[in-house]
Chain A
């Protein structure tokens, strides 16, 4: 390994990085210190409805998913029974997506059993949507290209005791690192795109859908008896003590449903938002060089979070739909 450390390719890469440092120093391409915004910024309004940049990006994710699924199923024969073998042979994009869907289907079947046909469409949709939403935030330009706007929340920020933020001086369409003297001269960037998962609204909506569907499948599997676990008074038959324990357990069950929403939404939001901040900080510590391994890490985290969201939804569905007579389950 030691011999290979200084071959032509590595030297060229090293030279290119040094050249990037020198060139960006010459051109004076100093970027302003990043402004981390925890909520998504409004881009434009339709009627009285505010379109934020993360909602806009969610639409793009949806368009990507629709177009890719249309392209992947284009060559699929309409009538599978009468199609010849060569017609059924998948190729290219269709092959890739058949592999993904088959892997997901196998995973679902292993956990859900005979509920697979009911659960699989929802589970697979959640996985594909979340993984696309996570990875779209890693594309360069997402979160950095946007409209220049005057900071209008200055008074609010200073009132809270934060240091006064006046924005930065803009040189044409490019923001410079020079802080503005007054708020009227300063600008900051409102990005066109923001990863949907880095916005709490998106993850909260997904979490609510998931938890409501858990209740739906619980009723579907057990009838109205599913709700008995939230109002358990059967313990009173054995005395007041067991009755109160039953009521306490029911309250815990109710709280755990609400905690599910919180942990679902904040797990995804926290991981992706923290990942974006991490990439930002690393890019400002040592430019060009140090953020590369963290990009790999973020790709992995995006995949794992999509998988975890999917798996947890699937397990909650299965727990709710299967019968509750075998005692309570712990989670």
Chain B
């Protein structure tokens, strides 16, 4: 295979596979947060800010995959 084609494929695989885990993680986080809000609507604000924080940390893993993909593609 050509080098350029290989690079594109590698970048796509890096971000594509790397997004699976964080996707599942954010799904679980969101569902649990919704459940918690449903059980205890008064705590919505607190749950929301904690959920956003959790999502940010989960997302960081997808960002590492993105960094790798960008490095493979452009560097």
Question: Which residues of A are interface residues toward B (Cβ below 8 A)?
Answer: 38, 107, 110-111, 160-163, 259, 262-263, 266-267, 270, 274, 304, 307-308, 311-312, 315, 331
Contacts and interface: CB of A to CB of B under 8 A. Distances in A.
A203 to B, nearest CB: 11
Contacts, number: 45
Given A267-B60, A331-B57, A311 B49 contact: yes
A263 B4 contact: no
Given A263-B63, A266-B63, A308 B52 contact: yes
26 contacts: A38-B74, A110-B46, A161-B2, A161-B3, A161-B4, A162-B4, A163-B4, A262-B63, A262-B64, A262-B67, A263-B60, A266-B63, A266-B66, A266-B67, A267-B56, A267-B59, A267-B63, A270-B66, A304-B52, A307-B52, A308-B52, A311-B49, A311-B56, A312-B53, A312-B56, A315-B53
A160 B3 CA distance: 9
Task: Say which size band chain B's interface belongs to.
Answer: 10 to 19
A267 B46 CA distance: 23
Sorted nearest first, the 10 A-B pairs with minimum C-beta distance are: A263-B60, A161-B3, A266-B63, A161-B4, A270-B66, A308-B56, A38-B74, A267-B63, A266-B67, A270-B63
Contacts of B63: 262-263, 266-267, 270
A13 B70 CA distance: 39
Interface in B42-66: 45-46, 49, 52-53, 55-57, 59-60, 63-64, 66
Main secondary structure of the interface of B (DSSP, over half): helix
B57 A107 contact: no
A307 B55 CA distance: 12
A35 to B, nearest CB: 13
B70 A107 contact: no
A319 to B, nearest CB: 11
B45 to A, nearest CB: 8
